[in-house]
Amino acid sequence: MNPLKAKFLYYRDVFQFFKPYSFEKYSRTKQFLPMFKNYLTIASRNILRKSWFTAVNPTGLSLGLLAVLLLSPI
Domain boundaries, the chain: 3-71
DSSP 19: -
CB 46 within 8 A of CB 54: yes
More confident residue, 66 or 32: 66
Q: List the Cα angle 46/49/55 in 5-degree steps.
A: 75
Give per-residue pLDDT as tens, 17-29. Answer: 776 666 666 666 6
Reported confidence tier of residue 62, pLDDT bands at 50, 70, 90: very high
In the chain, DSSP finds a helix count (H) and a strand count (E) of 3, 0
